[in-house]
């Protein structure tokens, strides 16, 4: 990593985005955000990632990355140095976590120590690599990071969909839903809600239909993901 103000020109100080040719499958594997204050390193790593088929955006500081990141994160990851101007790599990691970013981070630095490495990994870093690094090792880490981001994004999309469906339930249907997923049978639900089993069956049918599930197991799985199965909830009693 270079020193701050090491003769970096204006062009090198600005983030540079390189759009690459699509792969044979017609898809780009993701956008890699490279944060490092060494202009020559940014150029070299950008070239290396470009050859591997990635899109690349480079930044000489943590703040420039923060200024350019969109709330609607594209599939990708962050390749981050430890010692950079302003916020350090670990400090940027903390800041991104506070902002709710799900972009996985791969640290790549020439200044590794055990304490920093352990801290970064405990905070959720995908990997902690030391310069110089082989192309194979670098690409492997980035592939894992992007795969992790894809899984996280897919899970978030599913949760958002489940929340949207849950919001469509009427107050009474929501009560029935919460009792069903806790193992209550229709007779018990009818007694607890002061209604008839026939009415409970009708509500149960509506719950299954609105939540777009075909089995109790699916409904319980959704409830677990949404945190509905809270043992402290009065509905569980």
CATH code where residue 217 lies: 1.10.10.10
Beta strands in the chain (DSSP E): 16-18, 31-35, 55-59, 76-80, 105-109, 127-130
How far is CA 129 from its chain centroid? 21
Q: Is the separation of the CB atoms in 79 and 44 below 8 Å?
A: no
Whole-model pTM: value is 0.67
Q: Same domain, yes or no, for 139 and 181?
A: no
Report which DSSP code applies to 57. Answer: E
Range of the structural domain that residue 138 is part of:
10-160
Of 141, 160, 179, the domain-final residue: 160
Q: Which of 137, 101, 138, 107 is nearest to 120 (CA)?
A: 107
Q: Same domain, yes or no, for 120 and 230?
A: no
Of 102, 130, 160, the domain-final residue: 160
Q: Same domain, yes or no, for 58 and 80?
A: yes
Q: Same domain, yes or no, for 17 and 123?
A: yes
Q: Scan for tokens 């609607």, then name that residue.
A: 72
Q: Same domain, yes or no, for 188 and 78?
A: no
Q: Same domain, yes or no, for 26 and 112?
A: yes
Q: Same domain, yes or no, for 53 and 150?
A: yes
pLDDT digits (tens, 9 = 90+) for 117-138: 999 999 999 999 998 899 999 9
With respect to residue 1, please indicate whether it lies within any of the assigned structural domains. no
CA dist list (Å): 21 to 24, 44, 230: 9, 19, 48
Average pLDDT over residues 167-185: 96
Total Cβ atoms within 10 A of residue 14: 12
Instruction: Label residue 29 by pLDDT band (50, 70, 90).
Output: confident
Of 140, 160, 180, the domain-final residue: 160
CA dist list (Å): 88 to 37, 119, 136, 232: 11, 13, 26, 41
pLDDT digits (tens, 9 = 90+) for 63-103: 999 999 887 688 999 999 999 989 999 999 999 999 999 99
CATH code where residue 114 lies: 3.40.50.2300
Output the pLDDT for position 112: 79
Q: How many separate domains does the chain show?
A: 2
């Amino acid at each position: 990593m270079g020193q701050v103000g090491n003769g970096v020109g204006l062009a090198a100080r600005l983030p540079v985005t390189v759009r690459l040719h699509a792969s044979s499958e017609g898809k780009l594997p993701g956008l890699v955000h490279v944060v490092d204050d060494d202009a020559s390193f940014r150029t070299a790593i950008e070239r290396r990632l470009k050859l591997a088929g990635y899109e690349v955006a480079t930044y000489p500081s943590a703040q420039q990355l923060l200024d350019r990141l969109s709330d609607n994160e594209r599939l990708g990851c962050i390749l981050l140095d430890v010692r950079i101007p302003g916020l350090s790599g670990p400090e940027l990691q903390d800041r991104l976590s506070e902002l709710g970013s799900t972009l996985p981070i791969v640290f790549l630095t020439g200044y590794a120590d055990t304490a920093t490495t352990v801290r970064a990994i405990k905070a959720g870093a995908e990997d902690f690599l030391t310069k110089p690094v082989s192309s194979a090792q670098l690409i492997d880490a980035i592939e894992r990071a992007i795969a992790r981001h894809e899984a996280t994004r897919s899970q978030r999309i599913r949760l958002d969909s489940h929340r949207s469906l849950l919001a469509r339930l009427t107050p009474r249907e929501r009560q029935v839903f919460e009792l069903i997923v806790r193992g209550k049978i229709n007779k018990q639900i009818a007694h607890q809600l002061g209604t008839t089993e026939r009415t409970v069956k009708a509500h149960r049918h509506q719950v299954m239909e609105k939540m777009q599930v075909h089995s109790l197991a699916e409904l319980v799985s959704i409830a677990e993901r949404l945190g509905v199965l809270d043992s402290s909830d009065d509905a569980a009693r």
